[in-house]
Homo-oligomer: A and B are copies of this chain.
Amino acid sequence: MSQALAGDTLHRLLHAYKRALRQAYADEQLELGVAQIRTLKTIRGLSPCSASAIAQRLKWDKAQLARLLGDLDSRGLVHRRPAPDDGRRQQLTLSDAGQAMLARVDACEQRAHERLAKGLSETELAAFEALAQRLIDNLERPIPSAD
């Protein structure tokens, strides 16, 4: 790696960030994991929403997604309905309980994020976000094959 960006920095940042999130969720007695919450948030942000859309969006294995959705369903946080136009697909929406849960998550995460961003300006955070997005794009872009 170029000396400017150490992979270890990325590892440590996410490790610290996830621990901060888990602690914030535990403090608030939210009995969900980070992946479950990310799933709920993605359902909120996509319309219409399906398991394959989430898997594509988060680059998750569909088997993992299936289990996460099964769990969220059994907790009554999401609705799964057959899609009207494709018998294979399920239409995912948040239940009332799911929406209420996410409202609590939002409050939780706001505190965690205030702590994360303390002392950094909006300009700096925006710059970080833009750079991070470019790094993601680099990694998610298919490698042109030599064949």
Please tell me if A75 contacts chain B, counting CB pairs below 8 Å: no
Asked if A146 is an interface residue, CB under 8 A from chain B, the answer is no
Chain A, interface size category, equals 35 or more
Q: Which of A19-46 contact B (CB under 8 A)?
A: 19-21, 34, 38, 41
Shortest beta-carbon distance from A8 to chain B in Å: 7
How many copies make up the complex? 2
A136 vs B11: C-alpha distance when bound (angstroms):
10
Nearest opposing residue in chain B for A118, CB measure: B138
Is B125 touching A128 in the complex (CB atoms < 8 A)?
Answer: no
Q: Please tell me which one of the listed residues B58, B126, B143 contacts residue A4 in the complex, with CB atoms under 8 A apart.
A: B126
The B-contacting residues of A in range 91-132, CB under 8 angstroms, are: 109-110, 112-120, 122, 124-129, 131-132
